[in-house]
Amino acid sequence: MAYKGISAALLEKHGAKVGDRISFKARDGSFDGIVMPRAELGDEHHLVLKLVNGYNVGVFVDGTEKLHRFEEQREVGKFHKKEITFKKGKPLLSIIHTGGTIASRVDYRTGGVVSAFTPEELLDLFPELDKMTNLRATLISNMFSEDIEPDHCTAMAKQIEKEIAAGSQGIVITHGTDTLAVSAAMVSFMAQNLPVPVAFVGSQRSSDRGSSDAEMNLMCAANFALNADFAGVTVCMHGTTSDDYCLVHEGTKVRKMHSSRRDAFRSINQRPWARVWRNGTVDFMRKDNLRRDATRKPLIREKFERKVALLKSYNDFDPELINYFTDKKYKGLVLEGTGLGHVPINDLDAATHKHKTTFENLKRFVDSGGIAVMTSQCLYGRINMNVYSTGRDLLKIGVLPGSDMLPETALVKLKWVLAQTSDVEKARGLMLTNMAGEITERTDPTTFIDQGCDNSMVPE
């Protein structure tokens, strides 16, 4: 938005405008940067500058400052669409764009960040990408990841099939980080037997920030997708808070574990597949991966069942929540239980009489043909419903143990399984079967804290 009052008069007095680079002394120090548009909620006493380090700063002005303008206006908040040209001898990389911070810019109306780039604009933002590959870019959506629906994952799976048919040697899916792991898990079930790597990638910091992880994450994902002897769905994100390397995680065993850290993504109950160093070198940390094979035919089964829900157990749990899903004819229910796989079902005193109703309502759901799967709020470790009587009672009424599946992974798997068969017993069997790396045979103790690659965090 346009400046007003004192800040507008100051700019006009010195012939400066949005996009100009200026320097001046103010009450809070000396400043040098590009004049950015005023945020909608900004006042007349502040100028917004983008400093040379990439950060934006609001500078208090009272109108007496002397501005020095030494660089003419440039386009602010805009990126040019770079023409995609074929380069002989370069491999083909496909980018499927869904939005998110990795492809975002500042919204100068509110001062916030919005998804705003088309896929072609990524080349202008990341010119190194244009040097290493021929690029195919497809726009699935341009939205925040909390708005992603299973239908968008269906579109991703179908587009993966198209890109493979077009000869792509690797596929990168740009995605917002908040639900990136959920989409990666769902696509892992929808798109199996892949001949090439598929790397979901995002960033915690937008591309216009000095601390942005966007470029490194994208370049590491591209290098892995193009060069690694690997096939399947992965997530590639920062491995440390520094710019050392990215970690490549299994699509069904990864979770965002911090709201803002650049190394927010962690493999849960599994080691990451690999490290990708800043120079593009790939160091594998596991050897049980499917290898790339151009002759392998992808198996795309993109359908899903909508009537599946995730229900978290908590103290003072309302038993009627379960009846809601039964009455609405839901086919599946993933329970995020406590510890080894429990929900409150024991009637012990006046305060816990309703626990009996919880048990009865769960039994009603299963008896009606619904599939209930138990997972753990602990995330790390695995379900064992044979240890305590609570778990054994739940097993008796047909609640399935979810092994070491993450709750969200179990949710999308159940959605996918129920779309593959209408046979309840067959569906129950599939939920107990490892389909895409979501269930491990044993728990590796090194995966709890250090991800299997850094012992510095393990207490002595």
Residues forming the active site: 101, 177-178, 256
Q: Bridge-partner residues for 234, per DSSP?
A: 199, 250
Measure the CA dihedral 118/119/125/131, to 10°: -150
d(C-alpha 321, C-alpha 185), whole Å: 26
Q: Among residues 194, 188, 184, 244, which one has the least CA distance to residue 220?
A: 244
d(C-alpha 398, C-alpha 431), whole Å: 13
Task: Give the HSE-up count for residue 210: Cα atoms under 13 Å, Cβ half-sphere.
Answer: 8
Q: Among residues 57, 43, 46, which one has the least CA distance to residue 10?
A: 46
Would you say 414 and 308 are in contact if contact means Cβ atoms under 8 Å apart?
yes
State the helix-helix crossing angle for 407-420 and 424-431, rounded to 10 degrees: 150
Backbone angles phi, psi at 419, to 5 degrees: -90, -10
**Token pair listed for 179:** 């639900």
d(C-alpha 283, C-alpha 274), whole Å: 5
Length of the chain: 460
d(C-alpha 318, C-alpha 353), whole Å: 12
**Token pair listed for 441:** 């045979």
**Token pair listed for 376:** 């753990």
With helix as H, strand as E and coil as C, how does 169-206 read? CEEEEECCCCCHHHHHHHHHHHEECCCCEEEEECCCCC
Would you say 221 and 230 are in contact if contact means Cβ atoms under 8 Å apart?
no
Q: Please give the angle made by the CA atoms of 320, 408 and 259, to the nearest 5 degrees.
A: 110
d(C-alpha 303, C-alpha 347), whole Å: 41
Backbone angles phi, psi at 138, to 5 degrees: -130, 135
